[in-house]
Amino acid sequence: MEKEFRMYIAGEWVNSLDGEFYEDLNPFTGEVFGRVVSGKRADARRAVEAASHALPQWSGMLPGERQALFLKAAEILEKKQNEIVSVLADETGCTFGFAMFQTMFTPGLLREAAAQVHQVSGEIIPADLPGAFHMAIRQPVGVVAGIAPWNAPLILSLRSICLPIAYGNTAVLKPSTESAVAGGIVIAEVFHEAGFPKGVLNLVTNGPGRSSEIGDEFIENPAVRRINLTGSTAVGRNLAEKAGRHLKRVALELGGQNPLIILADADIDNAVNAAAFGGFLHQGQICMSTRRIVVAEAVSKEFTEKFVQKVSTFKVGDPKEPDTLIGPLINRIQLEEVKKSVEAAVREGAKILCGGKSEGLCYYPTVLANVKRGSSFASEETFGPVVSIFEVKDEEEAVAVANDTRYGLSAAVFTRDLQKGLSMAERIESGIVHINDQTVHDEPQVPFGGVKDSGWGRFGGKAALEEFTELRWISMQRTPRQYPF
């Protein structure tokens, strides 16, 4: 019998009000990984109520007390590493390397949250009134809803609620249907074992087709004061439009068509290794994945030959085998989308240098050349192990190609001239630019987020204070004020 997983509301593991479950599948074997509670809008409402009820106690707790809980949670998460690595492989098709990356990254998120509890500070503001004292203070916003995707579920689910809770807010987490355990159950288990008070973190899971009604509850429920989403641009736009009607702030990390520029003076071997990692980690199913390699014509031949040779050797198959580099895509729908995208590019003149085939849900690492600028493939996001190579004459053309998309999440520039790299980074329309590193990089303390259709708002570090606290002005008259009438 398959294992059953329940929601976590008000400190209890509970069924949905109607008792429904759905089957969560292993994308590599096609077998049922587990049966998960399928929550509905009414379940989301009771999760919000639990978070709202817990808010006064949690926001009034001493920062040091909150800090101790986050540090304990980090230790618990580290102890569960082997268990979580197995869950990530079985539920999401995550290879051993990327699963290890997620389990090593996330304790740092919890420890950054522990550090941030003492960063919620204000300031004294000079007053232009006699006897007046002005101050600005930061306070929790209230209940925060986090909506997380399946592609890096442990990281992105924890990121959606970690710092908000550290600042004194309470939270409701809605993980993806495809990763309810790795992106939800596991995190709730850690918080529960660490001893967080009941209702501080609440978890609502839902079956296929139910995500929008959960999101609508978050948008329309007045107790929810902030929503953050990591997902596709289409979903983010729909959420932002609905939230706007309720004057509700959202933080969005959306899609990317991320360029990696290689200039003529770059260390080519370093660039090859970086591009291979950035393009094919987790089958290219990362918002920051390198999608376009923009390479100077002087080194294009050398780079392309070495790059194709390297990625052609990647082992494709069972994600539970430690040396597998390319596992399955998350589901059949995603596989078909990748196939259609590549086929469309080929019809428009693109040439497949390697890959372009699939086995089961595994799509082989694919490199395309001669992709037409301005085409859908060149400007839209293909969420899979597919990379295109563009040859350019100089730095100006490289920047133009990099900016030739509606997205702006992450970018990279390889050059031995760091001054030149910095100059280009300032002109690239992207929320993140790495010089001599690939596009897939994040750290808990940095301001992570995109521009253009890659979203708005910032996750991580002190920048998260702007998203998940309210800045308020308080004045005090120490002597009676003189009024004109």
The DSSP bridge partners found for residue 474 are 135
Q: From 61, 467, 438, 484, select the one nearest 261 (Cα to Cα).
A: 438
Backbone angles phi, psi at 175, to 5 degrees: -80, 170
**What are the Cα distances from residue 107, in Å, to 173, 195, 414?**
18, 16, 30
Catalytic-role residue among 287, 354, 395, 467 = 287
Length of the chain: 485
Number of helices followed by number of strands (H, E) in the chain: 15, 23
Q: From 136, 169, 173, select the one nearest 7 (Cα to Cα).
A: 173
Catalytic-role residue among 189, 253, 429, 467 = 253
Cα distance between residue 265 and residue 414, in whole Å: 8
3-state secondary structure of 36: strand
3-state secondary structure the chain: CCCEECEEECCEEECCCCCCEEEEECCCCCCEEEEEECCCHHHHHHHHHHHHHHHHHHHHCCHHHHHHHHHHHHHHHHHCHHHHHHHHHHHHCCCHHHHHHHHHHHHHHHHHHHHHCCCCCCEEECCCCCCEEEEEEEEECCEEEEECCCCCHHHHHHHHHHHHHHCCCEEEEECCHHHCHHHHHHHHHHHHHHCCCCCCEEECCCCCCCHHHHHHHHHHCCCEEEEEEECCHHHHHHHHHHHHHCCCEEEEECCCCEEEEECCCCCHHHHHHHHHHHHHHHHHCCCCCEEEEEEEHHHHHHHHHHHHHHHCCCCECCCCCCCCCECCCCCHHHHHHHHHHHHHHHHCCCEEEECCCEECCEECCEEEECCCCCCHHHHCCCCCCEEEEEEECCHHHHHHHHCCCCCCCEEEEECCCHHHHHHHHHHCCCCEEEECCCCCCCCCCCCECCCHHHEECCECCCHHHHHHEEEEEEEEECCCCCCCC
Cα distance between residue 242 and residue 249, in whole Å: 11
Helix (H) or strand (E) holding 313: none
Q: Is 23 a catalytic residue?
A: no
Q: Is 253 a catalytic residue?
A: yes
Place of tokens 């290794």: 273
Q: Give the residue numbers marked as catalytic.
A: 253, 287
